[in-house]
Amino acid sequence: MAEPASAPVVAFFDVDGTLTYRDPVTGPTSVPTPRVADALRRFVAAGNVAALCTGRSILGIGELMAAAPFAGAVTLDGTHVVYGDRVVYDRVIEPELWEASLDEMRRIGMEALVEGTYGCVIVSGDRDSSFCRILHGLEFFEDYVARGGEQSFGKIDFDDTSLEVVQSSEFLMSNYHYMNVGGGFHELAIPGTSKAVGARAFIDALPFEPSRVYAFGDSENDLAVLEAADVAVVMGNAHDNVKELADYVTDAVEDDGVATALEHFGLI
């Protein structure tokens, strides 16, 4: 039975490691499992509001938005937020900082995926590297600029191969907020932004104040929103430092942990 409330409950759902995962045999999943998708539909049918809350660009969540009745999304670690078809919050790396960051990435030999609302591009001096092969199909920065792509970016991703040079860069480490997001991947986010900031912008756009806010996540870029939520639900596959913030640790993502938690709290 759904939880009685004077106003709807709002829940924010991380994507990678929470709604989707990398199967060791078949590779990465792109949408929630049938049980989780059904649980999300039941949660919304009970009068509640579900939103994605992800490090991904909005360009990478179309299939997820179609798979379940999400009312909107907090993307790029909170720098771009949509409610329905409206953009309610948007922040990008300032042009001067971006130019200096690009120079620094090239100076130290960093390989990165730079994500934005209008384009996600690879920065690398070696187009044949293992990092670039992982991101096969994405555009290189130089090609993106040559065709007139908009340089409005929200965050910078990289893997373990660039970790040492990034951590040795005083410029990058002082101008961005560094996070280890697991699986050998890392992020540089704009200071002063977070999934919590984005979630607040989403809530402020609603025509009501929720009776309770839930957040579901598994990695360091979820810490801020988990801490800000009324109820922090952490996946069984999460990092130990993330589990420390949990009000409830649910099953792992591959075991339908989101559905288990919604059932546990009487939300479906």
**Predicted pLDDT at 182:** 87
Prediction pTM value: 0.94
CATH number at residue 137: 3.30.1240.10
Instruction: Flag whether 115 is in a domain.
Output: yes
Instruction: Flag whether 236 is in a domain.
Output: yes
**Predicted pLDDT at 129:** 94
The domain total for the chain is: 2
**Predicted pLDDT at 166:** 98
**Predicted pLDDT at 1:** 40
Same domain, 110 and 171: yes
Domain that holds residue 73: 9-91+193-264
CATH number at residue 59: 3.40.50.1000
Measure the CA–CA gap between 94 and 190, rounded to whole angstroms. 9
Same domain, 211 and 78: yes
Q: pLDDT 10s digit of each residue in the chain, 268 long?
A: 444 447 899 999 999 999 999 887 777 788 999 999 999 999 999 999 999 999 999 999 999 999 999 999 999 999 999 999 999 999 999 999 999 999 999 999 999 999 999 999 999 999 999 999 989 889 999 999 999 999 999 999 999 999 999 999 999 999 999 999 988 999 999 999 999 999 999 999 999 999 999 999 999 999 999 999 999 999 999 989 999 999 999 999 999 999 999 999 999 9
Instruction: Flag whether 249 is in a domain.
Output: yes
141 forms beta bridges with none
Measure the CA–CA gap between 236 and 216, rounded to whole angstroms. 11
Instruction: Flag whether 119 is in a domain.
Output: yes
**Predicted pLDDT at 213:** 98
Measure the CA–CA gap between 216 and 222, rounded to whole angstroms. 8
**Predicted pLDDT at 3:** 47
Instruction: Flag whether 17 is in a domain.
Output: yes
